């Protein structure tokens, strides 16, 4: 399968302040809750440093199988306003995705308007539609996480 380029753009309102929504992205403990994979999968954060030029590393996948490895290197951090990072996703040593993600947090009368844009190159078995579905699921789970306080 040839490499393809794509963009995922999702906008979502939250009944929480931009500071609360940003905080959910800035904490590996929070992210393990709201971005958790489906039953039968495991997920672990093996490194996390929310500073420009530094990276976090996540390993996830079906129990008992080789994990996917997601590495995010931060290029812009504006607390409660914007978060941008370059990202790669690999599996068994093979690169499946390389791209960038920008998440913005905008105050509204009812809380926060989040916009996520992922632009990247999808290789082999990976595709834009799968990433969009994954982001939709995680952002829905983020709403549930924020509602629980």
Q: Specify the CATH number for the domain of residue 89.
A: 3.30.530.20
- pLDDT digit string (tens) for 88-138? 999 999 999 999 999 999 999 999 999 999 999 999 878 999 999 999 999
| Residues in Cβ contact with 139 at an 8 Å cutoff, skipping those fewer than 6 apart | 10, 12, 114, 116
CA dihedral 116, 89, 96, 78 (to 10 degrees): 30
SS3 assignment, position 138: helix
DSSP string, 47-112: E---STT-EEEEEEEETTSPPEEEEEEEEEEETTTEEEEEEEEEETTEEEEEEEEEEEEEEETTEE
* pLDDT at residue 19 is higher than 70: yes
Looking at the DSSP assignment, which residues form a beta bridge with residue 114? 12, 105
Q: Look at residues 124, 133, 79 and name the one whose alpha carbon lies nearest to residue 105.
A: 79
Q: What is the mean pLDDT of the chain?
A: 95
* Domain assignment of residue 18, given as a range: 4-147
Strands 4-14 and 82-91: what pairing? unpaired
Total domains, the chain: 1
């Amino acid at each position: 399968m040839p490499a393809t380029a794509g963009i995922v753009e999702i906008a979502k309102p939250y009944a929480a302040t931009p500071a609360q929504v940003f905080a959910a992205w800035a904490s590996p403990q929070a992210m393990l809750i709201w971005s958790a994979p489906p039953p039968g999968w495991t997920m672990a954060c093996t490194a996390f440093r929310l500073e420009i030029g530094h990276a976090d590393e996540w390993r996830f996948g079906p129990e008992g199988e080789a994990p996917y490895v997601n590495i995010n290197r931060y290029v812009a951090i504006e607390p409660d306003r914007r978060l941008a990072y370059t990202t790669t996703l690999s599996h068994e040593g093979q690169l499946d995705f390389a791209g960038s993600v920008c998440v913005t947090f905008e105050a509204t009368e009812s809380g926060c308007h989040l916009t996520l844009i992922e632009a990247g190159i999808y290789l082999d078995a990976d595709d834009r539609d799968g990433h969009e579905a994954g982001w939709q699921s995680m952002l829905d789970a983020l709403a549930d996480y924020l509602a629980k306080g």
